[in-house]
């Protein structure tokens, strides 16, 4: 086995580790794979660094505040990718700038990356299916509702047409969340039911977030306890992003019920960490809760 093959094998092991436990466990393997591939296949090395950023995103606060910065700085040193750049290359550059330099610096590149993914959606379905999990979060982070909707629409259509049952539940779940944000709860519920039915047949891992999110958006009184249990469960395998998601959805729930002090506390906890695709949404809930609780001056936690 030559060095290129070793690099690809290490990457495959990292992908398996991340698929099994969506946290930071895959990061050492991804760094190893990137180091092996940098001088042999620059394009593949850049993809590995993007996967490393995704792993750190899902690890969230459980990896500490410096984890994403460390990955971004390491990715910044990788050789340039193919020319012209692929959408995945622009996404990598944008996320590196987002986490190493700040939101304002990263936004132009990320918006460019999202436009590139939309243009490629009808021509390169494989890329949409491979990178939806990260491009979709980025669209939420950029407040790009149009791309948010368009990416999942293409993903669901492609998965249905190709019979990609391993991918379809994820695409359905993401589309369900888009419908929730549009207030279309019945449509979201239908998609979640379909996703769960497929997962039951295939035996793949359950996707809990959409169902929990729907409980919160509908103001279900059982949502808070279900969200707490879900976040605790996800934390056992290192998915710290679920903690931020729990606090954000608690804020949605409590704002909807008019319990503004509880919403304010939950939104502030969500804002303690810059979770991609969550932090900005949590700021909205923080403002609403602050006004409702009579504390409009309360800033988000650093």
Q: Decide if pLDDT at 302 tops 50.
A: no
298 compared with 27, residue with greater pLDDT: 27
Q: How many whole angstroms separate alpha carbon 282 and alpha carbon 271?
A: 6
Mean pLDDT for 147-162 is 92
Evaluate whether 32 touches 10 at the Cβ level (below 8 Å): yes
Over the chain, what is the mean pLDDT?
Answer: 90
64-110 confidence digits (pLDDT tens): 888 899 999 999 988 888 889 999 999 999 999 999 999 999 999 99
255-278 confidence digits (pLDDT tens): 999 999 999 999 999 999 999 999
Where do the domains of the chain lie?
A: 208-302
Tokens of 288: 């609403």
Contacts 24+ apart (CB under 8 A), 130-136: 131/50, 131/87, 131/88, 131/91, 132/170, 132/171, 132/174, 133/54, 133/170, 134/50, 134/53, 134/54, 134/57, 134/91, 134/95, 135/87, 135/91, 136/174, 136/277
Q: How many whole angstroms separate alpha carbon 261 and alpha carbon 58?
A: 28
């Amino acid at each position: 086995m030559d060095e290129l093959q070793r690099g690809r094998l290490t990457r495959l092991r990292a992908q398996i580790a991340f698929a099994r436990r969506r946290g930071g466990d895959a990061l050492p393997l991804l760094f190893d794979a990137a180091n092996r591939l940098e001088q042999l296949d620059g394009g593949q090395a850049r993809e590995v660094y993007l996967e490393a950023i995704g792993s750190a995103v899902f690890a969230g606060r459980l990896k500490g505040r410096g984890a994403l910065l460390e990955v971004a700085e390491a990715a910044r040193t990788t050789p340039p990718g193919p020319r012209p750049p692929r959408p995945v290359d622009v996404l990598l550059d944008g996320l590196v700038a987002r986490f190493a330099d700040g939101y304002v610096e990263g936004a132009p590149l990320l918006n460019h990356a999202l436009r590139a993914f939309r243009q490629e959606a009808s021509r390169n379905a494989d890329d949409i299916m491979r990178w939806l999990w990260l491009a979709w979060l980025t669209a939420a982070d950029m407040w790009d509702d149009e791309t948010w909707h368009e990416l999942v629409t293409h993903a669901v259509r492609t998965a249905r047409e190709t019979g990609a049952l391993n991918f379809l539940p994820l695409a359905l779940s993401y589309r369900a969340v888009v419908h929730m944000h549009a207030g279309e709860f019945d449509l979201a519920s239908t998609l979640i039911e379909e996703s769960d039915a497929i997962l039951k047949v295939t035996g793949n891992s359950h996707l809990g977030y959409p169902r929990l999110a729907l409980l919160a958006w509908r103001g279900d009184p059982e949502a808070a306890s279900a969200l707490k249990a879900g976040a605790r469960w996800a934390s056992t395998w290192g998915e710290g992003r679920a903690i931020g998601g729990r606090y954000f959805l608690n804020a949605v729930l409590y704002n909807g019920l008019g319990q503004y002090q509880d919403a304010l506390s939950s939104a502030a906890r969500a804002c303690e960490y810059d979770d991609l695709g969550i932090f900005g949404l949590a700021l909205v809930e923080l403002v609403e809760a602050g006004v409702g609780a009579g504390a409009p001056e309360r800033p988000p936690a650093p």
